[in-house]
Structure 1
Amino acid sequence: MDTDRFDRRKFVKGVGAAGLVGLAGCTGGPESGGDGEETEMSTPSGDDSDSDTEDTETEGSMSSTTNIGMVYATGGLGDGSFNDQAQTGIQRAAEEFDIAFDESEPDSVSQFSTYQQQYAQETDPNYDLVSCIGFLQADSLSQTAPDYPDQDFMIVDSVVDADNVRSYTFKEHEGSYLVGQLAGLLSSQSFSAGESSTAGDSTNVGFVGGVESGLIRKFEAGFTAGVKSVNSNIDVQTTYTGSFSEPSAGREAATSMYSSGADIVYHAAGNTGIGVFQAAREEGRFAIGVDRDQSVTTDYADVILASMVKRVDTAVYNAAEATVNDEFEGGTATSLGLAEEGVANVYGTELGDQIPDDVKSEVESARQGIVDGDVSVPQDPSNV
């Protein structure tokens, strides 16, 4: 291990992004389980070469190893959702290809430019690709990318028009339609599973978003449309907390909804969504997760009916694979929906088996209808 380099990385974390000079920070890597413990650059699993050789290949300017820098969304690793899904993609790529990667967890939007630039400027190692996770990075990347025309970037959840940026977006509204239909169908009947149940005397569901934006409104629009496809009279309560990293705000918003009669609350709020699950357990109601199967990645499988999985990991993996194979295409945009298996409705590990088969059949019919083009899903709540 290059001790001097590792010590500088520890220093990066201590001073924050504003104090970075010529080096991208490395925090919360795969070896640390997302808990913020500093790690040296990750290497592909199963590499049985000795550590001195690994360090030389990783650090040296003559290395053939592909180096990738990961700049995560605010909220950080350990969210059991968006960032963790992205990390799964780069970990898979590291296992299958000759890839090493470093990770950075900005605390605020203002730090995105700094981390993006640090990776682009670094020469030991030289980063072949910088992966920018989350739509909030778009403004920063729009300014950073032109300043580093020889650096390849990718971004998830937004389109940045630059020759050296490959953009990946998702049809979140399509997957959200399915979980909305699920919520509408279950709210329209008496349903119990585990320690939770629908109210029985109301048809009422909720949506909790993080930072309100065109992207998150796609989740809301699809969810609401799915609910209304079951019964136009079902009430859909909506709250935006303004943050992706405040579970207390998610808990407060969801508690208010459950108290107002909501049977099921769906969130698109990152780590804020953990508070939604807390409220569901406390109120004896249900919740729907997002981005990953959150019945697996959190401790709230007892209240999670399903999750709207978004394959951020696929986008990260594909960009890494293209970089390794020298097939990376900047200036392109890819959109992944139900047809491309970029989004999906995944039933919870504990409660999924208890959802009636006729409900699942209706949801599956809707999925096929969207794939076949027979069902059109709005992307803006004002069009529902």
Structure 2
Amino acid sequence: MRHGKGAAVAAVAGMLVLAACGGSDGDSGTTGSSGKPRIKLVVNGGLGDKSFFDSAYAGLKRAEKDLGYELKVVELGSDRTKWEPGFEDAAAAGDYDILAAGTFEVTDYIGELAPQYPDKKFWVFDAPVDYSGKNGTCSDKCENVYSVTFKQNEGGYLAGFLAEKLVAGKALKGAESLKKVGVMGGVKTPLIEDFVVGFKAGFTAAGGSGSDVLVQYVGGDKPFGDPARGKEISTAMYGQGAALVWPVAGLSGLGTFESAVAAQRYTFGVDSDQYQTLTDQAQKNTVVTSILKNVGNALYKAAQDDQKDSLKYGAVSTVGLSEDAVGYVNDDHFAQLVPAKIRTELEAAAGRVKSGSVKVPSAL
């Protein structure tokens, strides 16, 4: 993969600019016309996933409101052939001071583009660029790129631990006789496997058998954007006796909530509090808790640190339970579904991970 050096490409068909505040295309200044720093969030997909990208957007909107940034959002859609030229176009436009993008699928794009625009800053969340330059990107070591990654294996561990305690304790009303659970990933990559590895470790640590954890991947051309396929896979898992399914698959996971309603079973949310973000009440009621990857919190913290000139560019920051970057939703709805004894056990398990007395295995 190679990008045109420093040249803008034609605007990508279907690219949607949600909000543009200050600054004009081609402006090479450090701020918009209002004097405020400008962040451009480029989404390799779309908002509305009720989880990962929506969390990133919420964090940057908070930075806009609280810290005085200006935010523009560009959605590139699910057609992967549009992503490379879309990132080139977004970077070349010049209407930003910071370009933010996330997932392992965009790191090569940012790694090649960032050295071409040394007067700009780039934030990559959920996977780092290759600072070594070994894969042909980051030839100048990407000294203007900040990468933040998450210990999603720690969140997965808590999900697995809770899942086993729920099924072993026959705590899920209507599913008391079932002992299997499912994890649906978008695609089998090290990052998604990190969720799965952590989940299995937590499940077995709580006393369960790894053979009772069903794992399947959406795959295809839209692994994180295919709710119909997500529903199909989740329906099959429920049919195999899963009491609950945890979708780790972006928009594809929305199909899991539909399936759970039909099967009268349960789910865990992912990345964001999906009990709050889902709009269908029946689907909301299937969500026991959500395992949080606080992307928005991490980006808000990056915005704070950048204002103080303390954000470390040219390096990777890795955050987990100890930094409140991953965790789980513990609210009234959770308390209604989960007995106090299990809630206490889960809290203790989280404490052991935070303290380091439990080392969660990782796929990374």
How high is the TM-score relative to the length of structure 2? 0.85
2:203 aligned with 1:223: no
Per the alignment, residue 143 of structure 1 pairs with: 112
Of the three residues 337, 349, 363, the one matched with 2:320 is 337
2:90 aligned with 1:119: yes
Per the alignment, residue 178 of structure 1 pairs with: 158
Of the three residues 268, 283, 290, the one matched with 1:307 is 290
Per the alignment, residue 189 of structure 2 pairs with: 213
2:65 aligned with 1:89: no
Take 1:149 and 1:42, find their aligned partners in 2: how far apart are those partners?
21
Partner SS state of residue 21, structure 2: coil
Deviation at 1:349, TM superposition (A): 5.3
- Superposition map of 1:72-83 within 5 A: 72-74=43-45, 76-83=46-53
Deviation at 1:313, TM superposition (A): 0.4
Distance 1:274 1:213, change over 3 A: same
After superposition, the C-alpha distances for 1:109-167 in whole angstroms (9 at most, x for unaligned) are: 443333333333224x3x11000122211121121122222221010111112211100
Deviation at 1:315, TM superposition (A): 2.0
- Superposition map of 1:1-384 within 5 A: 19-20=10-11, 26-27=16-17, 29=18, 39-41=19-21, 63-74=34-45, 76-107=46-77, 108-123=79-94, 125=95, 127-160=96-129, 161=131, 162-193=142-173, 197-200=174-177, 202-233=178-209, 235-242=212-219, 243-298=223-278, 299=280, 300-347=283-330, 350-380=333-363
User: Which is worse superposed, 244-253 or 324-333?
Assistant: 324-333
Take 2:176 and 2:143, find their aligned partners in 1: how far apart are those partners?
53
**Which amino acid is the alignment partner of residue 112 of structure 1?**
W
Deviation at 1:86, TM superposition (A): 0.4
Contact 1:302 1:351 in 2 (8 A): no
Deviation at 1:334, TM superposition (A): 0.8
**Which amino acid is the alignment partner of residue 313 of structure 1?**
G
State how many pairs are aligned.
333
**Which amino acid is the alignment partner of residue 266 of structure 2?**
F
Distance 1:333 1:80, change over 3 A: same
Contact 2:39 2:99 in 1 (8 A): yes
Take 2:337 and 2:225, find their aligned partners in 1: how far apart are those partners?
31
**Which amino acid is the alignment partner of residue 154 of structure 1?**
W
Take 2:31 and 2:234, find their aligned partners in 1: how far apart are those partners?
51
**Which amino acid is the alignment partner of residue 128 of structure 1?**
D
Gaps spanning 5+ residues in structure 1: where? Answer: 1-16, 30-38, 44-57
Q: Percent identity?
A: 32
Distance 1:352 1:247, change over 3 A: farther
Deviation at 1:224, TM superposition (A): 1.1
How high is the TM-score relative to the length of structure 1? 0.80
Take 1:212 and 1:122, find their aligned partners in 2: how far apart are those partners?
34
Distance 1:191 1:259, change over 3 A: same
Moved over 4 A (4+): 23-26, 58-63
Deviation at 1:351, TM superposition (A): 4.7
Contact 1:67 1:128 in 2 (8 A): yes
Partner SS state of residue 339, structure 1: helix
Contact 2:126 2:149 in 1 (8 A): yes
Take 2:122 and 2:251, find their aligned partners in 1: how far apart are those partners?
25
RMSD, aligned α-carbons: 2.6
**Which amino acid is the alignment partner of residue 93 of structure 1?**
A
Contact 1:309 1:346 in 2 (8 A): yes
Per the alignment, residue 6 of structure 1 pairs with: none
Contact 1:206 1:264 in 2 (8 A): yes
